[in-house]
Chains A and B, each alone.
Chain A
């Protein structure tokens, strides 16, 4: 594939589209025909996301098929993954094809699989965090340094202040937790947010101008 196709065309698309969106956002008044016209560009994101979904599905099927064929790491789980994906896909497509519903989620069987299986499995996995945190609290949280000590003390105050038992022990705990959240936390997070925003703007400008090309993959 030529350099023009691999590099210059994507760079030109990025520059033109980015430039149009910057102009539309900062220089065109809402409701004007020119601004409305850019909404069409925005809507194309849906098409790109849908395409990315198909690519994701193909990549997932390919990855797990290869893993099973090679008897790779946890290949038995790959079988379960493939079965789950394929069956759920068939159920969804069946619901649409039989016009049981206009929309996949309203299909009774599709909803049942989601609400009765997926929801509970996902919640179970997430809730395991509580056990890991309890174990980590015993094994890893140590007063090794001043910073670690501050973190531990503040964390303990938050734990007490954000649960009803804290207020039951001493009514000052909820107030302390709220102050910690409102003042020191807000100050720190504001600094982080502003820093991230400046970094994002700088990265966006570099990408628009073609200086930052990492998103195009390695240059060869």
Chain B
């Protein structure tokens, strides 16, 4: 196939092929084994090492576009926190994360969790905390001052769990679910860096796969102790949770199978495109 033919190939055929091939494993999962990365093990180890009653911040700093990657990460981690008896203060520094956090908590702790007895002592949902980095810094310095009420309008002064927290150094773990700014780098800069460093405020991150390369220097430096890398990271963490808590469903299997098919298809497209280009070039065709 000449380059001109390759370039002129109707891209809609590619779209249709991708759509069909990705749909098949979603409908009929392949059940491929999921290898566990050391980054995922870091999140597991940091969380399971916490004594019961430790306070974990779960921060929903992403919008709807990255729900397929970030949401299952946060959900599996919250489930683990619940099972381990960890206290959770959930919040969002992204406006779009506010409703997402509420829906994830509803799934893990049950609909109407804000009316349950444990709410206020073991779980709090502050919802959207405005101010981006400044909101993070205020929460780290003095959580009671970051926002007057929780997501449902209850004064934070009426929530006993908030009284246990003087500043961020009282936290057992900060779990950051992010796909941009403010995200993990702002937590490192405005919370961790101001309150004793990684040993005082351990940070685990669940991120979109495309953002993970940029956070690796912070992981290597120990400022981030574990990373859930995109959908694969979510699937790996689900597998770990399911191993110890079989009632937790492994929902990301079909999605990971579809991702596998898409990745192989993209590599095939690259190979076919390059073979066509090389053949065309050897026959004296245009190289562009």
Contacts and interface: CB of A to CB of B under 8 A. Distances in A.
Q: Which of A103, A114, A138, A167 has the most CB of B within 10 A?
A: A138
Interface in A54-108: 101-103, 105-106
B131 to A, nearest CB: 5
A131 B138 contact: no
A13 interface: no
B232 A106 contact: no
B257 A103 contact: no
Interface stretch (B81-89, B156-164, B213-221): B213-221
B152 A106 contact: yes
B72 interface: no
A42 interface: yes
Contact of B65 (A101, A126, A141): A126
Given A30-B194, A46-B130, A165 B263 contact: yes
Contacts of A131: 14-15, 18-19
Interface in B121-173: 127-128, 130-132, 134-135, 137-138, 141-142, 145, 149, 151-153
26 contacts: A39-B142, A42-B134, A42-B138, A43-B131, A46-B134, A102-B149, A103-B151, A105-B151, A106-B127, A111-B99, A126-B66, A130-B262, A131-B18, A134-B15, A138-B14, A139-B9, A140-B273, A159-B267, A162-B209, A164-B32, A164-B33, A165-B32, A166-B260, A168-B32, A185-B216, A189-B213
Q: Which of under 10, 10 to 19, 20 to 34, or 35 or more describes the interface residues of B? A: 35 or more
A203 interface: no
A131 B266 CA distance: 10
B35 interface: yes
Contacts of A122: 63-65
B34 interface: yes
Contacts of A190: 217, 220
Interface residues of A, number: 58
Given A123-B68, A141-B274, A189 B216 contact: yes
Given A49-B131, A134-B265, A105 B99 contact: yes
Contacts of A160: 263-264, 267
Nearest to A103: B153
A105 B127 contact: yes
Interface of A: 30, 39, 42-43, 45-46, 49-50, 101-103, 105-106, 111, 114-115, 118-120, 122-123, 125-127, 130-131, 133-135, 137-144, 152, 156, 159-160, 162-168, 171, 174, 178, 181-182, 185-186, 189-190, 193
B283 interface: no
B279 interface: no
A28 B38 CA distance: 39
A39 B138 contact: yes
Nearest to A30: B194
A105 B63 CA distance: 14
Contacts of A39: 138, 141-142, 145
A216 B15 CA distance: 46
